[in-house]
Structure formats: C-alpha cells, structure tokens
Chain A
Amino acid sequence: MTAARRATDTFIIVLVMLAVWQALHQIAGETALPAPLPTLSYLMHNIATRRFAENAATTAGEFAYALILAYAIGLAVGVWMGAHRLSGAVGEPILVALYSLPKIVLYPVVLLVFGLGISGKVTFGAMHGILPVALLTMGAIRAIPPVYLRAARTLQLSPGATIVNVLLPAALPEVFTGLRIGFSVTLLGVLLGEMFASKQGLGSMIMTDMQLLQGEDMMTVTIALFAFAAVANAVLLWIEHRLHRRV
C-alpha cells in the first residue's frame, strides 16, 4: 500500500466526515449546527478577531503554566518512584487509580482552595498532566536493563556520568511518550476548568457562544482547538518515533 494511496484513502474519510456534518446540519438547523463550508470560511475570519485572540491568550497562558507544573512534578515523582522500588510498588496503584478517576469532581475543591482566578485552572490542568508523566517516567526507569548500569561501572563511569550518559538516553523514548500524553490531558484539564465558572478563556468562550446561540462561533473555536491539539500531537509523535527508532 503506497503512501499516496493511503493519503487518498484518508482524504476520502475526511470527505465522508464533511458529508455527514452537512447531513446533520440539514437535520439540526442553522443555529444548532452550521454547515461545514460556511464554518470553515468563518474560521479564518474568527481567528483574527480580538475576542478570539484575547481568550486564546488566556488559555495559552494557563496551559503553559499547567504544562510546566505537570512536567516538573510528574518527572520528579516518576524518577523517584522508578528508582526507589518500594515507593514505586506502593505508589503505582494509587497513581493508576487517580488516573482513571473523574477528576472534575475535585474541581470545586480546587476552586475553594485557589479561588476563581488563573491558579485554579492551572492547578486543575496540572492535576491531569502529572499522572501520565509520572506513570510513564516510572515505567521508563524501571525498564532500563540492569546490565546497562553494570556496563557503566565496568567502563569506570561516576554515578553522575551514569545518570546523564546512560540512564537519561535509555529512558528518554518512554519518558517522551508520557510528556506527549501529558500535553493532551493537561490541555483538556485547562479547557474543562474554563467551561465552569470562568469568564475568560476558550472554554468559557464556547459556553458563552452556546448560551447566545452562536453556532458558527462555537464550531470554529472547537475546530481551532481540535486542529491545534492534532497538529501538536502529530509533531510530538514524530519526535517520539525518531527517539524510538533507535531503541
């Protein structure tokens, strides 16, 4: 199956999706679900508006902070639990349980502790991202073949040099997978937080649009977010494949 054929097939699927969208539009009506073509043209227009830019900037800021927190804490926890057997054994099921919990139920607690400002959404977003980063980093460290460490000793490496030149490169591919997944779930967490009790950000913008029956606006923001997430994921996945190919 050539790459060209595969690309054509995928393109056909996209066309099918657009056709389904068009059909749903006929059924649901203009205000509920706008048609695909007008929406896509409106998208170009909408992105440039001040309202979109301001809300996007808010979301971007919250997302950036949340991501940094998630990565930093997640990596630290993951390394510790990966290197320290007992902590890993004790903590892993706890992290796994937290990962599958509907964290939205904890959002009110976050709001009560951090207030209605940015910190609440940043914390909530980070709460989502920490878990996959920690779990996959832990897995990556555990998966390092012990023979690498023995080999490092026979090659006269200091402990510091071993960490930098052996442990880090050996763990990197799987750690990166955690970072990639953490990226997506942190974004979702931030948006979720904005959809509730928030006046700014793309999440709250969608909710406002819904109440004001601004169908087109709603769809364009949704599509813009989907596109951003998809492209970011594709890029991270590409990097991940480059890392994995050598292993």
Chain B
Amino acid sequence: MTRVGVIRLVVVAALIGALELACRLGLISHNTIIPPSEMARTLWTLLASGTINGDIERTLGMIALVIALSVVFGFAVGLAIHALPRVREALDPFFATYYAVPIFIFYPVLIAIFGLSIMPIVLIGVATAIVAMIIATLNGLDRIPRVLTKVARVHRLSRIGTAVTLQLPAAAPYLFTGVKLSVSYAFIAVVAAEFILSPAGLGRDIADAYADFNNRRMYALILFLLIIATIVNSALHALDMRWAARRTGGRQ
C-alpha cells in the first residue's frame, strides 16, 4: 500500500479509536453514542441470528432493482435523445437543473398516489438515479469519434446493431461513470425513503430503533449500511478511476 494509503488508514483508525475511547471513558454518554466495538458486536449478533436477513434482502433488493432500471432505461433514453438533437436542446435546461432541485420531496406525493408499497420507493429511486445515467450516456455518446459512426454505416449495421457493437463499447468508460453515480444515488434515495416512511426495510428498521430508544440495534444497523455503501461505492470509484485513462484517450 502506498505511503498515503497507510497514513489514511492510520487517520481513520485513530478517529475510530478516539470515538471508542471517548465512549468508554464516559465523555460521550451511552444514550447518545455507543462505542464502535459495541456497534460491531451487536451487528455481528444480529447477522448471526438471521433476524434482519429479510430486511437486508428487501433493502438491497430494491436498491438493485432501482439500479437495474435506472441504468438500462437511462442508457436507452440517453441513446434516443442523442439521436434527436432538437429534443436534446429543448431538454437541456431540465437536465442542467435536475439535480439542483430537491427531487426527493416528491416522495410523499408518490405515497399519496400509490400508497405505502414498494412502488413509491422504486419510483423515487429511479427518478433520482436515472437522470445521472442519461446525462452520462449523452456525454459518452458525444465523445465517440465521428469516424466510428461512419464505419458502422459502411458495414450497414442496424440501429440496434450500431448501439450494441459500437456505441456501447466506445462510450463504455463514460457509461461506467453513470453507473457509479446511479448506484450511489440509488442507495441514497432508497435508504432515505425507507427511513422517512416505509412498511419495511433497513431504513425503517433504523427509524424504529431510534423511536424505541434501542441504540444498540440502531447503531448496528447504521454501521451495516455504512459498511455496505462504502464498500460498493469505493469499489466502483476505484474501477472508474482505472477507466479514467480511457476517457482522456490515455494521454496522461
């Protein structure tokens, strides 16, 4: 590991260690924050007992569903819009503003329409994640050298053929950035939705534990989500950085 990596590890470990010490010494009350070691132990117990498996499946399952829908349809919509420059120009102000607007506050409206089911959660998740994928797709397709499109026409490829064999691979590094963003947005939206209002799921679990003053359970679940989200996001980010050279044409 690089020197910087080691320092980073030490810094993070030191912070966690400081928290542990502060809790153990009573500087921080157990009613506020419990020691990290307690969080880990409770989490281990919960996982071992299998009682939260259902919630884990539900939450991660919904996140996966949101990602799948956002990536696939985001790419398709991006592809379609790219082929219609006039539509794209008209939509431009919306794309520019989309993430400046707190989309999530639409969630209660969706609940009002669809009731308390998985629909509102999936919809708000997709609404949050899909535009990142669309924008990344448009960006990636922009970057395809024109000459490749001409090659496709020389080979008389169909629309789908061109999309799959040419546009997809050529735009892949940019598409991957879109996937990375969609994943992180999916996590954020689904967990927030479950937390605010949902019949089930890890987010709901945390909210319940908070309401019940069940700190140990609450922190264990928070730790679980933090670990999962960090691992997934970091892995994708690392891959994204690897592909960064391909995005800049390797001219680093």
Contacts and interface: CB of A to CB of B under 8 A. Distances in A.
The answer to whether any beta carbons of A and B sit under 8 Å apart in the complex is yes
A151 to B, nearest CB: 26
Contacts, number: 150
A122 interface: no
A106 B99 CA distance: 22
Contacts of A76: none
B76 to A, nearest CB: 18
Interface stretch (B5-13, B50-58, B151-159, B161-169): B5-13
A109 B210 CA distance: 9
B104 A109 contact: no
Contacts of A6: 89-90
A195 B33 CA distance: 23
A96 to B, nearest CB: 7
B112 A210 contact: yes
Given A89-B4, A93-B8, A230 B112 contact: no
11 contacts: A9-B87, A33-B109, A86-B7, A90-B4, A100-B229, A101-B233, A104-B188, A107-B195, A207-B196, A207-B197, A229-B102
A60 to B, nearest CB: 14
Given A106-B222, A225-B102, A90 B195 contact: no
A31 interface: yes
Interface in A200-237: 203, 206-207, 209-210, 213, 215, 218-219, 222, 225-226, 229-230, 232-234, 237
Given A105-B206, A188-B104, A1 B89 contact: yes
Given A100-B187, A222-B106, 9 more contacts: A9-B87, A13-B94, A24-B113, A108-B210, A184-B99, A184-B101, A192-B104, A195-B105, A207-B196
Contact of B229 (A102, A111, A196): A102
A209 to B, nearest CB: 7
Nearest to B97: A230
B136 interface: no
A247 interface: no
B237 interface: yes
How big is chain B's contact interface, by range?
A: 35 or more
A37 interface: no
B184 interface: yes
A157 interface: no
Given A100-B233, A234-B97, A192 B112 contact: no
A230 B94 CA distance: 9
A96 B86 CA distance: 35
Contacts of A206: 105, 108
A229 B101 CA distance: 5
Contacts of B118: none
Contacts of A155: none
B206 A229 contact: no
B105 A102 contact: no
A166 B187 CA distance: 41
Interface in B56-109: 86-87, 89-91, 93-94, 96-97, 99-102, 104-106, 108-109
B184 A100 contact: yes
A83 interface: no
A32 B113 contact: yes
Interface in B192-236: 192, 195-197, 203, 206-207, 209-210, 215, 218, 222, 225-226, 229-230, 233-234
Contacts of B218: 108
Contact of B112 (A32, A94, A195): A32
B129 to A, nearest CB: 12
B111 interface: yes
B8 A90 contact: yes
A104 B188 CA distance: 8
B11 A90 contact: yes
Interface in B1-45: 4, 7-8, 11-12, 31-33
A218 B108 contact: yes
A45 B86 CA distance: 37
Contacts of B32: 112-113
Nearest to B222: A105
A231 to B, nearest CB: 9
A93 B184 CA distance: 15
Contacts of B207: 108, 196
A187 interface: yes
